[in-house]
């Protein structure tokens, strides 16, 4: 039995299949985990959703910002971006089933055996492990509740950009969602910055990648994340694994086999 974790798919279904073929993935024995952003930009977002949803494939995912945006567009809260190439999802006979399945996926997973944390974007530099797990469960309950559409309608804001236990309601929920699905850089005082998407070496000096800030959790815990394609799989931290390598942007799809930490890649097909 092997545990495989794959970076952001973004509709790159064919590349995923070739990657799994490389390792002779066997869903009856092996596990497959994904870092979120199953959809948008690649041509086969619908196929990616169906593959991960199918229990026969033994695949599990967490939610990314593009997955949440898909939910917002399916609800009519936001307009579809033509570059996302998700028309097939809107026309699919199983659209509603896919929508309900997607919103019930977690924001964070702690692997039951290996204990690594799997998250799309990152973990707040203000949280310890207990807070991280509790905040994930709190926001997941909102997304899985009856009023989830009302919360998603209020999701699109970058405030608050710092953590406080005093936050309640939408402000608290929005900070949690933004950390797990959008975060890249922080200021030195641990406030979040959402504007900068530059490679680390080109970023302003007042900004630091979230995983380089002083938080004991980042030094003690193995963390796997996606979201940040310009890192191209490099975090320079031995226990922090970046798996988004920009397949949908013409680069490659990356996968790690957890037991021996071997990396497998599949180049973008077209």
> What is the distance between the terminal CA atoms of the chain, rounded to a whole angstrom?
32
- Each residue's pLDDT tens digit, 69-112: 999 999 999 999 999 999 999 999 999 999 999 999 999 999 99
| Structural domains of the chain, ranges and CATH numbers in brackets | 3-267 (3.60.21.10)
pLDDT at position 210: 98
CA distance 98 to 139: 20
Contact criterion met (CB below 8 Å) for 73 and 86: yes
223: helix, strand or coil: strand
Contact criterion met (CB below 8 Å) for 171 and 180: no
CA distance 215 to 223: 13
158's tokens: 């970058």
Q: Which residues contact 166 (CB under 8 A, 6 or more apart)?
A: none
Q: Please report, rounded to a whole number, the percentage of residues in the chain having pLDDT higher than 70.
A: 100
Q: For residue 225, list its beta bridge partners.
A: 119, 242
- Each residue's pLDDT tens digit, 211-253: 999 999 999 999 999 999 999 999 989 999 999 999 999 999 9
Burial class (CB in 10 A: 0-12, 13-18, 19+), 187: middle
CA distance 51 to 61: 11
The mean pLDDT value for 166-181 works out to 97
Q: Which residues contact 124 (CB under 8 A, 6 or more apart)?
A: 131, 132, 135, 163, 175, 179, 183, 190, 210
**Strands, sheet with 59-61, edge to edge from the N-terminal-most edge strand:** 59-61, 31-34, 3-6, 252-257, 262-267
Pairing of the two strands 207-209 and 185-187: antiparallel
- Each residue's pLDDT tens digit, 28-64: 999 999 999 999 999 999 999 999 999 999 999 999 9
Q: Which residues contact 189 (CB under 8 A, 6 or more apart)?
A: 162
What would the DSSP string read from start to end of 146-187? Answer: TTHHHHHHT-------S--TT--HHHHHHHHHHHHHT--EEE
Would the pTM count as exceeding 0.75? yes
> What is the enclosing helix (H) or strand (E) of 99?
helix 95-103
The mean pLDDT value for 188-210 works out to 95
> What is the enclosing helix (H) or strand (E) of 263?
strand 262-267
pLDDT at position 270: 77
């Amino acid at each position: 039995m092997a545990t495989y974790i794959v970076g952001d798919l973004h509709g790159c279904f064919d590349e995923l299949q070739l990657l799994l073929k490389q390792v002779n993935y066997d869903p009856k024995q092996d596990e497959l985990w994904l870092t979120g952003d199953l959809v948008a930009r690649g041509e086969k977002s619908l196929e990616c959703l169906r593959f991960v949803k199918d229990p026969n494939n033994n695949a599990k995912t967490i939610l990314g910002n593009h997955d949440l945006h898909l939910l917002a567009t399916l609800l009519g809260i936001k307009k579809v971006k033509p570059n996302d190439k998700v028309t097939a999802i809107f026309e699919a006979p199983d659209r509603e089933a896919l929508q309900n399945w997607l919103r019930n996926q977690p924001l964070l997973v702690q692997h039951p055996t290996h204990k690594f944390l799997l998250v799309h974007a990152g973990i707040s530099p203000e949280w310890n492990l207990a807070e991280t797990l509790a905040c994930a469960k709190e926001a997941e309950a909102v997304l899985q509740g009856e009023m989830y559409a009302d919360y998603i309608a209020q999701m699109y804001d970058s405030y608050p950009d710092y953590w406080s236990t005093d936050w309640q309601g939408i402000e608290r929920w929005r900070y949690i969602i933004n950390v797990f699905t959008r975060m890249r850089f922080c200021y030195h005082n641990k406030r979040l910055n959402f504007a900068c998407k530059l490679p680390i070496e080109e970023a302003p000096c007042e900004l630091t990648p979230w995983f380089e800030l002083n938080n004991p959790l980042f030094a003690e815990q193995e963390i796997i994340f996606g979201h940040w394609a310009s890192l191209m799989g490099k975090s320079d931290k031995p226990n922090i694994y970046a798996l988004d390598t920009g397949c949908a942007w013409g680069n490659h799809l990356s996968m790690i086999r957890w037991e021996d930490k071997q990396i497998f890649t599949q180049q973008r097909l077209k």
